[in-house]
Amino acid sequence: ELKVEQNPLFLSMQEGKNYTIYCNYSTTSDRLYWYRQDPGKSLESLFVLLSNGAVKQEGRLMASLDTKARLSTLHITAAVHDLSATYFCAVDREYGNKLVFGAGTILRVKS
Amino acid sequence: ETGVTQTPRHLVMGMTNKKSLKCEQHLGHNAMYWYKQSAKKPLELMFVYSLEERVENNSVPSRFSPECPNSSHLFLHLHTLQPEDSALYLCASSQGRGNTIYFGEGSWLTVV
């Protein structure tokens, strides 16, 4: 059974600081997704990582995937308040986009 | 504005009621999904439809009954639910594997 673990589950950080969210998963997969969710809103796709060593960047967020270590990271550079949200990683269980989600990381950026 | 629209956005129903959640995708995708998001558990995949055929039923109780009449529409029929079924139900769609899965804004369900 595929399990996806994120840590930390809650992150409070100062504006301008850097931090990393980690996503570990238990069985082999080569497709990993990162989503953002604002309170009361749906999930917004951030990144789709499709191969070992994949790295994608958008603004202050950068995601990477190491399929051998079964680890993905979401790195936040020089955090700003607008990045406050809950971030989810999800791993494709098998053919057909059957995603298994992590518990989510609640990020709060303080001024 | 999302390409996946869900109605109603909020629903309160009694345990003996029958109601339905509706989802429509305007993205030309060939797969649609129902997910459940509750306070106590991570997002859970409930059902997957690919080309209008159900390809996943993730041990969901029979009081939830999905229907996919065509590739653009997905329903979740609700019957004799329990209070623990109160959650946010998210519809999603995608085209092929490895592509972005787009989520609707969800239907907040409260069972009283």
pLDDT digits (tens, 9 = 90+) for B76-105: 999 999 999 999 999 999 997 668 899 999
Supply the pLDDT for residue B65: 94
| Contacts of residue A62, Cβ cutoff 8 Å, sequence gap at least 6 | A55, A56, A74, A75, A77
Closest CB from A45, A103, A104 relative to B102: A45
Name the region of B89 (left: φ>0; alpha: ψ -120 to 50; beta: rest).
beta
A76 in contact with chain B, both atoms CB, cutoff 8 A: no
d(CA A72, CA B48): 25
Give residues 15 to 74 of A whose Cβ lies within 8 Å of B: 31, 33, 35, 41-45, 48, 50
DSSP labels, B18-36: EEEEEEEE-S--SEEEEEE
Best mutation target, A4, A5, A42, to test chain B (most B CBs within 10 A): A42
DSSP labels, A82-109: GG-EEEEEEEE-STTT-EEE---EEEEE
The answer to whether the beta carbons of residues A100 and B105 sit under 8 Å apart is: no
ω into residue B66 within 30 of 0, thus cis?
Answer: no
Q: Which of A17-26, A84-93, B47-56 comes out lowest in average pLDDT?
A: B47-56
What percent of chain B is modeled with pLDDT above 70? 96
A7-17 tens-digit pLDDT:
999 999 999 99
Mean of all residue pLDDT scores within chain B = 91
Taking CB atoms and an 8 Å cut-off, how many pairs form between chains A and B? 56
The answer to whether the beta carbons of residues A67 and A92 sit under 8 Å apart is: no
Chain B residues within an 8 Å CB radius of A51 = none
What percent of chain B is modeled with pLDDT above 90? 75
A19-47 tens-digit pLDDT:
999 999 998 887 899 999 998 888 999 99
3 state DSSP class of A81: helix
Where is pLDDT greater, at A1 or A47? A47
What percent of chain A is modeled with pLDDT above 90? 77
pLDDT band at A63 (very low <50, low <70, confident <90, very high): very high
Supply the pLDDT for residue A95: 62
- Span A80-90, mean pLDDT? 96
